[in-house]
Amino acid sequence: MSPPAFSGTALLCVMVFASTVCVGAFGPLLPEIARAQGLPDWQLGVVAGAFGLARMAADLPVGMLATRRLGSTLALAPVALLAGVLLLATAGPLPVLILGRLLTGLAQTLVMVGGLTAVLQDQRGSSPSMRLNTLEFSGMLGVLGGLTLVAVLPEGWRWNTTLLAASTPVVLALLAAMRLRRVFPDRVEPARSAHPLERGRAGAGRGGLPAVPPVVKLMFVQGAIMALAWSAVSQFVVPLRGTREFGLDRSGISSLLSLSQLMDLLVLLPVGWLADRIGRRPLLVAGALVLGLGLGALGLGSLPVFTVGCALFGLAMAGWMLPLGMIREHTEAAGLAWRAGAYRMGVDGAMFLGPLICGFLGEARTSIFIVLVGAASCAIAVRLMRT
């Protein structure tokens, strides 16, 4: 007898929540990692950016694996996460830290691609869109949980001990994966049933690739800008500027990052509700402008303005799914999977580049970079109003 849809979705939410706690815990510890390991900014940027690099490289292979071996994909996620956390907890040399971050990035891809695939394939319950939003909401709660744990754990603990303690919810992910292996068993697809991405590319190619509408091109750019901003702000700008310029400890950094996360959570569902009623374009324009203002405040503001920038940044991130929704509006079914896959690779590539660019620029010049990213977001808003 098939398990109820709610059971599968609930287990997926538990797994996503437990798997993203360590993502939130990493950011506030970044300044301590730099001091304890003696890492210059460029090496710190490489360590932080390795997470996005792994996601970008794993997107398509994991998508193909999830199509045929969904249960195995979900089961591998907490194993990869645990391996990555344990490597980071050794506080080893630079290559060990990079490998640990690569494994945590791979784990995040396994859990998110596998989770989304499971929800999309499981059509037994009602409101599949709400289940997708619930899955994303669980991930955001996990990030907030990691930030909170870092803030309340003893300040005297070394960074690797704190990270290991904050990552203990991975045990819940392991337990959920054991059950999910039965809820979503592996199945071998017939040879003709290629991965949706390949089917979309093939379908688009039979009559030649259709012209890409200007608004779709803008959405690719805006998605990359949002990802670039998210990775740079959460994994470099707030931790390092907050510590070096404003003298904040790990609790203070966690509070600022938590403020962004809370603002995101508060307006996420209302943004989705409004998008269904007034359309995505007005919300995209507003979100791009708010992102530009928030990044300007984060790059140039004093501590009070910096704090307001964190709140504005969180508000803007609530529109994370809007560019992809706009792409869906302007893409035929045959080419949707291909465009969605290309969009995801661009987003994850930007997540990799954000902290890497900041690291090579150095903390002193990162403010200029983040302001330029904000200006690019405002330019997208103006272009959207004219398109």
Residue 140 has pLDDT above 60, yes or no: yes
Rounded Cα distance, 316 and 295, in Å: 10
Q: Quick one: 201 and 260 in the same domain? A: yes
Q: Which residues form the domain of 5?
A: 1-184
Q: Is residue 85 part of a domain?
A: yes
Interval 134-141 mean pLDDT: 81
pLDDT of residue 381: 93
pLDDT confidence of residue 194:
43
pLDDT at 121: 60
**For residue 1, is pLDDT > 50?**
no
Residues 237, 368 within the same domain: yes
Residue 277 inside a domain? The answer is: yes
Residues 169 and 201 in one domain: no
- In the 3-class helix/strand/coil scheme, how is the chain assigned residue by residue? CCCCHHHHHHHHHHHHHHHHHHHHHHHHHHHHHHHHHCCCHHHHHHHHHHHHHHHHHHHHHHHHHHHHCHHHHHHHHHHHHHHHHHHHHCCCCHHHHHHHHHHHHHHHHHHHHHHHHHHHHCCCCCCHHHHHHHHHHHHHHHHHHHHHHHHHCCCCCCHHHHHHHHCCCHHHHHHHHHHHHHHCCCCCCCCCCCCHHHHHHHHHHHCCCCCCCHHHHHHHHHHHHHHHHHHHHHHHHHHHHHHHCCCCCHHHHHHHHHHHHHHHHHHHHHHHHHHHHHCHHHHHHHHHHHHHHHHHHHHHCCHHHHHHHHHHHHHHHCCCCHHHHHHHHCCCHHHHHHHHHHHHHHHHHHHHHHHHHHHHHCHHHHHHHHHHHHHHHHHHHHHHHHC
Same domain, 111 and 211: no
Instruction: Please report the pLDDT score of residue 138 as a whole number.
Output: 85
pLDDT recorded at residue 333:
58
In this predicted structure, the answer to whether residue 12 has a pLDDT above a threshold of 60 is yes
Please give the model's pTM, rounded to 2 decimal places.
Answer: 0.74
Which segment of 87-91, 268-272, 347-351, 366-370 scores lowest on mean pLDDT? 268-272
Query: Domain boundary residue among 131, 156, 184?
Result: 184
Tell me whether residue 190 is in a domain: no
What residue type is 287 in one-letter code?
G
Phi first, then psi, for residue 169 (nearest 5°) are -60, -10
What's the total number of domains in the chain? 2
* 205 and 308 both lie in a single domain: yes
- What is the C-alpha separation between 25 and 347, in angstroms, rounded? 22
Segment 322-346 mean pLDDT: 71
- The answer to whether position 189 is within a domain reads no
Check whether residue 174 and residue 252 sit in a common domain: no
Confidence of residue 61 (pLDDT cuts 50, 70, 90): confident
Residue predicted with more confidence, 193 or 77: 77
Give yes or no for a contact between 310 and 202, defined as CB atoms under 8 angstroms apart.
no
- Asked if 295 and 373 count as a contact pair (C-beta separation under 8 A), the reply is yes
**Where is pLDDT greater, at 153 or 129?**
153
Q: Verify that 131 and 206 share a domain, yes or no.
A: no
Q: Is residue 115 located within the same domain as residue 238?
A: no
pLDDT of residue 120: 57
Same domain, 27 and 73: yes
| Domain boundary pick from 184, 212, 245 | 184
Degrees, nearest 5: CA angle 253-258-263: 140
The pLDDT tens digits for 246-261 are 998 888 998 999 899 8
| 347 domain residue, yes or no | yes
Lowest mean pLDDT among 20-24, 85-89, 201-205, 376-380: 201-205
* pLDDT score, position 79: 94
Query: What pLDDT is stored for residue 123 in this prediction?
Result: 46
Q: Which two tokens stand for residue 10?
A: 């609930």
Q: Treating both helix axes as pointing N-terminal to C-terminal, what angle do 280-300 and 214-232 enclose, rounded to 10 degrees?
A: 30
Angle at 113 between CA 107 and CA 119, to 5 degrees: 130
102 lies in some domain: yes
Give yes or no for a contact between 269 and 263, defined as CB atoms under 8 angstroms apart.
no
User: Is 148 domain-assigned?
Assistant: yes
The 10s digit of each residue's pLDDT in 306-325 is 999 999 999 998 888 788 77
Q: What is the arithmetic mean of pLDDT over 57-68?
A: 80
What tokens were used for 194?
A: 């290629």
Q: Are residues 311 and 360 in the same domain?
A: yes
Residue 135 lies in a domain: yes
Answer with the one of 133, 161, 184 that is the final residue of a domain: 184
pLDDT score at 386: 83
- pLDDT tens for 168-184 read 999 999 998 888 887 77
Average pLDDT, the chain: 83
For the stretch 328-342, what's the b/e string if a residue is b when 16 or more beta carbons lie within 10 angstroms of its beta carbon?
eeebeebbbbbbbbb
pLDDT, average across residues 287-294 = 95
| pLDDT at 5 (0 to 100) | 47
Residues 159 and 292 in one domain: no
- Do 111 and 75 share a structural domain? yes
Alpha carbon distance 328, 296 (integer Å): 30
Contact between 34 and 81 under an 8 Å Cβ cutoff? The reply is no
Q: What is the mean pLDDT of residues 107-115?
A: 85
Supply the CATH number for residue 329's domain.
Answer: 1.20.1250.20
Provide the pLDDT confidence category of residue 200 given band limits of 50, 70 and 90: very low
What pLDDT, on the 0 to 100 scale, is given for residue 364?
A: 79
Q: What percent of the chain has pLDDT over 70?
A: 86
Between 362 and 199, the higher pLDDT residue: 362
Q: Which one has a higher pLDDT value, 197 or 179? A: 179
Give the tens place of pLDDT for each residue, 150-166.
Answer: 889 998 899 999 999 99
